[in-house]
Amino acid sequence: MDAAPAASYAAGVQPGRFLLRTALTGLQQLRLAWWRLRGSRGRGALAVPLTPEGQLILIRLTYARGWRVPGGGIGRGEGAEAAALRELCEEIGMTGHGPVVCVDRMGASSLFLVRDVVYSPRRTFEVEEVAEFPPDALPAGATSSTRRCVAAALALVRRA
């Protein structure tokens, strides 16, 4: 059974966004194919954001299925932590945050736990939906990567 989001920005795909979702999905597939052909994917930064109430903030992208932790590529000359925070601003509309802790450096990607996140969600071409969930009750649509990231971050929280 799917856990209902505690707070949700959008309630599914609106009819006018179907074509946009299809086009963006196709573009993302082309981008991934290009990276595979080049043999490099670049460095990435992911964030597990928690609200002051302890709720986990996840996103659904327009071009990929499932609930995900926010994240993206690290720009040239940008640090991994700065990239994770920038992605939170872009993807969930983060306006403030508390402590940031590096959870793991997984190959070319870095994972950060960001506490006390304050945000004002907004829909963009990239993000279809932003929602809060209890960290121990992820939605059925959460990706396996999201589940691994959240588990790693929660393990760090429990050790502290």
pTM value?
Answer: 0.76
Number of domains in the chain: 1
Q: Tell me which residue of 59, 128, 62 sits closest to 88, measured CA to CA.
A: 59
Strand partners, 113: 48, 101
Strand partners, 7: 132
In a 13 Å sphere around the CA of 93, the CA atoms on its Cβ side amount to: 12
What residues make up the domain containing 51?
Answer: 42-159
152 assigned to some structural domain: yes
29 assigned to some structural domain: no
What are the tens digits of pLDDT across the range 6-44? 444 444 555 566 666 666 666 666 665 554 555 545 689
126 assigned to some structural domain: yes
Q: Tell me which residue of 93, 28, 11, 32 sits closest to 62, measured CA to CA.
A: 28
On the question of pLDDT at 60 being above 90, the answer is yes
Alpha carbon distance 25, 20 (integer Å): 8
114 assigned to some structural domain: yes
Q: Tell me which residue of 67, 82, 84, 56 sits closest to 154, measured CA to CA.
A: 56
pLDDT at 56 (0 to 100): 97
37 assigned to some structural domain: no
pLDDT at 38 (0 to 100): 55
108 assigned to some structural domain: yes
Of 77 and 2, the one with more pLDDT? 77
CATH of the domain at 72: 3.90.79.10
47 assigned to some structural domain: yes
pLDDT at 14 (0 to 100): 59
20 assigned to some structural domain: no
